[in-house]
Amino acid sequence: MRKKSMSAEEFHELHEHVEHGAHNPEMAPVSLTMAILAVLVAVVSLLGHRTHTEEVVMQTKANDQWAYFQGKDTRLHTDQKLLGLAGFVSTSDPTKVAAWLASTKAEADKYDKQKDDIQAEARKLESEATIARRRADRFDLGEVFLEIALVITSITLLSGRKMFWWLGMASGLVGVLVAASHMFIQ
């Protein structure tokens, strides 16, 4: 599920807070922190969206690979059944039957060998999709902490209490660390 990014209204509100900081030099660091947090929210949100897209692409490729596997497996079983039924066919030309049997047997063997490779590729793609999902989850959680940090920091401008600024920066740091932890997912 895609989350919405910061709206135009939220950016306008942020701009007003920055202007407020310009009138009160004591609040300038708070305004700067809010601007940095807003940029971090945007970056982490973008990375999260792209990672979710990567997950969907990998899962689609894995599904395609499984469909290919099923097609080959169906063809293998069809050939095996045909080979089993061939003993019941009578013909005046045993050479044609022998050639057909050899061809069908070779085709069945080929499908049997390809099956394992196709299945391994499908499992690999599924694994890549799982890793992408786990990374996207880290970006999403990091984005939540950064958005909370932005809100908490903005309370500083309203209340004048620096404690909210420190809490906002702490939440922002947690958000950055959580988002950066995507690099350790293998």
Q: What pLDDT, on the 0 to 100 scale, is given for residue 3?
A: 52
Q: What pLDDT, on the 0 to 100 scale, is given for residue 6?
A: 60
CB 140 within 8 A of CB 178: no
Residue type, 186: Q
* Least confident among 85-89, 101-105, 120-124, 143-147: 85-89
84-93, 107-116, 175-184 — which one is most confidently predicted on average?
175-184
Q: Is the pLDDT of residue 16 over 80?
A: no
Q: What pLDDT, on the 0 to 100 scale, is given for residue 1?
A: 47
Mean pLDDT value across the chain: 85
25-34, 75-84, 89-98, 161-170 — which one is most confidently predicted on average?
161-170
Q: What pLDDT, on the 0 to 100 scale, is given for residue 4?
A: 54
CB 107 within 8 A of CB 72: no
Helix H or strand E encompassing 129: helix 94-159
The CA distance from 39 to 172, in Å, is 11
Q: What pLDDT, on the 0 to 100 scale, is given for residue 141?
A: 96
Residue type, 138: R
Q: Report yes or no on whether pTM surpasses 0.75.
A: no
Question: Under the phi-then-psi rule, with left for phi > 0, alpha for psi from -120 to 50, and beta for the rest, what region is 93?
Answer: beta
Q: What is the pLDDT of residues 68-95, one digit of tens each?
A: 889 888 888 887 787 777 766 667 777 8
Q: What pLDDT, on the 0 to 100 scale, is given for residue 54?
A: 93
Q: Is the pLDDT of residue 172 over 50?
A: yes
CB neighbours of residue 83 within 10 Å: 15
The CA distance from 129 to 70, in Å, is 20
Per residue in 31-40, is it b (16+ CB within 10 Å) or e — as a string?
bebbbbbbeb
